[in-house]
C-alpha cells in the first residue's frame, strides 16, 4: 500500500507552485492543547499573523484518513469543538490514522513530516516537546519531536521547549541529533512561559536575514531540522518564581493521579492554567501568534535567499 496523496488546499498548492512563502501550523493545539474557544481563536490568530507578514498559512491535520495540508475554516472549528472525537497523532501514529480513516490532530513531529512531504520547510508552533523529568514513578520519556528534528529538514519556530521539561537534557539530545538551536536576538534558550531558561544555545541571530542565511547553509551542508527560538514577550511572560510554585503543584497532582506518558503534558498544562487563573493560557495564545509572524517573515526571507 502506497502513502496516500496529500490533500493540499488550493491556496497552498498555488503558493508552492509559484514558489511563494508558506508556513506550516500544527493542529494539536486546537484539538488537545488549548480549551474551547481559545483554541480556535488562537488558530485563527496564527493564520492571520502569517498572512499579515506576507506568507500563506497551512494548518496541517489528518482528515478522515487523508493528510490535509491547509484546513478550511469549518475544519478548524470542528477540530476545536469539545465534543470532537479527534485523535492526537505523532509521526508514529500517522499510518494508523490513515488506514483507519480517522481524523487526527498532528503534533510537532507529524506536522514536520507532512509539511516536508508537501514541500514546506518553515513551521511555527508554541513550543517543542523534549525530555521529561524522571523520578521513581515516572518512566524515561523523550518526545518524538526531537527525533524528527534530527531527520527532517524543516525549521521549527517556537518559544523554546515547554517549561515543564528537563531543558538541559532536551538541549543535549538536540545537540546529539545535529539540530542547531538558533536564538532570535537572545543568547539563552527560551522556556515557553518564561523568557529564558538560563541555558546557552548554539547560535544567536539578530535579524531574519541572518537566520535565513544560517538555515540555507545548514541545509546546503545536508543538515536536517533546526529550531529558531523566540522568547515570549515581557508583557505576557510569567514570573519565574510564580511559575516554579505552580509547576510543583501541578506535578504533585499528576503523580498523585498516576498521570504519565502522552497524557502527562496536556494534564500539566491544564493544571497550570487552573493554578495561574488562566495566565498560562493567555501567554500560550500570545506566543503562538508571535511565532507564526516570525515564521512568515523567515519564510519570505528564505525565498529571497
Residues with a known catalytic role: 26, 162
Residues 6+ apart with CB under 8 A from 105: 26, 27, 28, 30, 31, 32, 61, 79, 86, 87, 88, 89
Strand partners, 183: 204, 229
Q: Quickly count: other Cβ atoms within 10 Å of residue 175's Cβ.
A: 12
**Do residues 34 and 46 lie in contact, with contact meaning Cβ atoms separated by under 8 Å?**
no
Nine-digit cell at 246? 505552580
Rounded Cα distance between 227 and 117, Å, is 19
Rounded Cα distance between 7 and 73, Å, is 15
Helix or strand (DSSP H, E) at 114: helix 108-118
Amino acid at each position: 500500500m502506497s502513502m496516500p496523496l496529500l490533500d493540499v488546499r488550493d491556496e497552498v498548492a498555488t503558493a508552492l507552485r509559484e514558489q511563494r512563502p508558506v508556513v506550516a501550523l500544527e493542529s494539536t493545539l486546537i484539538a488537545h492543547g488549548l480549551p474551547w474557544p481559545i483554541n480556535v481563536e488562537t488558530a485563527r490568530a496564527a493564520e492571520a499573523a502569517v498572512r499579515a507578514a506576507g506568507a500563506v498559512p497551512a494548518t496541517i491535520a489528518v482528515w478522515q484518513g487523508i493528510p490535509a495540508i491547509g484546513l478550511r475554516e469549518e475544519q478548524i472549528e470542528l477540530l476545536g469543538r469539545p465534543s470532537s472525537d479527534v485523535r492526537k497523532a505523532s509521526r508514529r501514529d500517522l499510518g494508523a490514522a490513515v488506514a483507519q480513516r480517522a481524523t487526527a490532530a498532528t503534533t510537532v513531529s507529524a506536522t514536520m513530516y507532512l509539511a516536508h512531504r508537501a514541500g514546506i520547510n518553515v513551521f511555527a508552533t508554541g513550543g517543542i516537546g523534549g525530555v521529561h523529568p524522571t523520578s521513581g514513578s515516572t518512566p524515561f520519556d523523550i518526545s518524538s519531536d526531537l527525533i524528527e528534528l534530527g531527520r527532517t529538514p524543516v525549521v521549527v519556530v517556537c518559544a523554546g521547549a515547554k517549561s515543564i521539561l528537563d531543558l538541559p537534557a532536551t538541549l543535549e539530545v538536540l545537540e546529539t541529533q545535529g539540530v542547531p538551536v538558533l536564538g532570535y536576538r537572545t543568547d539563552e534558550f527560551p522556556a515557553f512561559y518564561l523568557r529564558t531558561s538560563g541555558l546557552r544555545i548554539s547560535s544567536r541571530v539578530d535579524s531574519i536575514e541572518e537566520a535565513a542565511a544560517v538555515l540555507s547553509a545548514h541545509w546546503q551542508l545536508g543538515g536536517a531540522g533546526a529550531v529558531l527560538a523566540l522568547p515570549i514577550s515581557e508583557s505576557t511572560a510569567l514570573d519565574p518564581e510564580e511559575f516554579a510554585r505552580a509547576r510543583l503543584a501541578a506535578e504533585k497532582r499528576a503523580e498523585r493521579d498516576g498521570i504519565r506518558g502522552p497524557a502527562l503534558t496536556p494534564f500539566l498544562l491544564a493544571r497550570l492554567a487552573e493554578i495561574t487563573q488562566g495566565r498560562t493560557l493567555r501567554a500560550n495564545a500570545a506566543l503562538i501568534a508571535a511565532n507564526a509572524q516570525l515564521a512568515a517573515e523567515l519564510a519570505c526571507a528564505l525565498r529571497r535567499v
